[in-house]
Amino acid sequence: MTSLKELLVSTKFDDCVNEMSTFIVDTVQKQSGLTGIALKGALSAATKVDSNIVDKGSRRLLPELADSLDPLWQEYKGGQGSSFGEHLSANRTRALDAILSVADRNANSINVPGLDKVYKGVRGKASKVIEQELPAIGQLIEKSAQ
């Protein structure tokens, strides 16, 4: 069976990166309360360092994210769940671990002073948002993999 990475890192890679970047920004912007303040502040700080940081991060992390989510993708394609978003939600602990392990590994290699500290400060809040957004993340990935 074709790997998720092969499907996403194909001729549709740029479209997938653009959709992921838009999804990230839109998801952060719709947050409210303390979580919204923290995530919007982190995004603002990151974009002050590099205005294209979301696009660059999406481009860099997409192949690794696809590898990390591939076991769940293979299960889904093997007949588990009616959509990839549903499958991610049904396996939320594994899905979160797969996504956050990629983010954590890459946050540890950030060479921008202060940016790793910002990430560590919002990681817990981001985890909760990611968990809520698993159906939409799955939908975005499935659409891009078609």
Compute CA distances 86 → 24, 52, 72, 94, 131, whole Å.
19, 31, 11, 13, 12
pLDDT classification of 11: cutoffs 50, 70, 90: confident
In which residue are the tokens 């076991």 written? Answer: 71
Cβ(57)–Cβ(105) below 8 Å = no
Residue 81's domain comprises 4-145
Enter the tokens of residue 115: 């940016």
Cβ(46)–Cβ(118) below 8 Å = yes
Q: How many CB atoms lie within 10 A of CB 121?
A: 14
Give the 3-state secondary structure percentages of the chain, helix then strand then coil, rounded to 5: 80, 0, 20
pLDDT of residue 138: 95
pLDDT of residue 119: 72
Q: How many domains does the chain have?
A: 1
pLDDT tens by residue, 38-94: 889 888 988 888 889 899 889 989 999 999 999 999 999 998 778 999 999 999 999
pLDDT tens by residue, 99-133: 999 988 887 776 666 666 777 777 788 888 899 99
